[in-house]
A and B are shown apart, each in its own frame.
Chain A
Amino acid sequence: DAGVIQSPRHEVTEMGQEVTLRCKPISGHNSLFWYRQTMMRGLELLIYFNNNVPIDDSGMPEDRFSAKMPNASFSTLKIQPSEPRDSAVYFCASSFTGKLFFGSGTQLSVL
Chain B
Amino acid sequence: GIQVEQSPPDLILQEGANSTLRCNFSDSVNNLQWFHQNPWGQLINLFYIPSGTKQNGRLSATTVATERYSLLYISSSQTTDSGVYFCAVESQGGGYNKLIFGAGTRLAVHP
Contact across chains for A45 and B99 when beta carbons are under 8 A apart = yes
Q: A99-B45, A104-B41, A105-B41 are in contact. Are A43 and B96 (CB under 8 A)?
A: no
Mask: chain A, 38-55; 1 = CB below 8 Å from B; 0 = not? 000011010010100001
Contact across chains for A42 and B98 when beta carbons are under 8 A apart = no
Contact across chains for A99 and B48 when beta carbons are under 8 A apart = yes
Q: Which among B10-18, B55-63, B68-76, B100-108 touches the partner chain?
A: B100-108
A-B pairs with beta carbons under 8 A, tally: 55
**Which residues 20-69 in B have Cβ within 8 Å of A in the complex?**
30-31, 33, 35, 41-45, 48
**8 Å CB contact of B97 from A89, A100, A102:** A100
Q: A31-B96, A45-B98, A48-B96 are in contact. Are A100 and B45 (CB under 8 A)?
A: yes
Alpha-carbon separation in the docked complex, A48 to B94 (Å): 12
Alpha-carbon separation in the docked complex, A102 to B98 (Å): 14
Contact across chains for B101 and A42 when beta carbons are under 8 A apart = yes
Contact across chains for B97 and A91 when beta carbons are under 8 A apart = no
Contact across chains for A48 and B101 when beta carbons are under 8 A apart = no
**8 Å CB contact of A100 from B30, B95, B99:** B99
Alpha-carbon separation in the docked complex, A56 to B100 (Å): 13
Q: Would you give the shortest CB distance from A9 to chain B, in whole angstroms?
A: 10
* CB-defined contacts of B102 to chain A, threshold 8 Å: 42
**B side interface size, CB within 8 A:** 23
* CB-defined contacts of B33 to chain A, threshold 8 Å: 99-100
> Is there a chain B Cβ closer than 8 Å to A82's Cβ?
no
* CB-defined contacts of B104 to chain A, threshold 8 Å: 42
Closest to B41 in A: A105
Q: Would you give the shortest CB distance from B107 to chain A, in whole angstroms?
A: 16
Contact residues of A with B, CB < 8 Å? 31, 33, 35, 42-43, 45, 48, 50, 55-56, 89, 91, 93, 95, 97-102, 104-105, 107
Of the A-B pairs whose beta carbons lie under 8 Å apart in the complex, a sample of 8, sorted by A's number, is: A35-B101, A45-B100, A50-B96, A89-B41, A99-B33, A100-B88, A102-B43, A104-B41
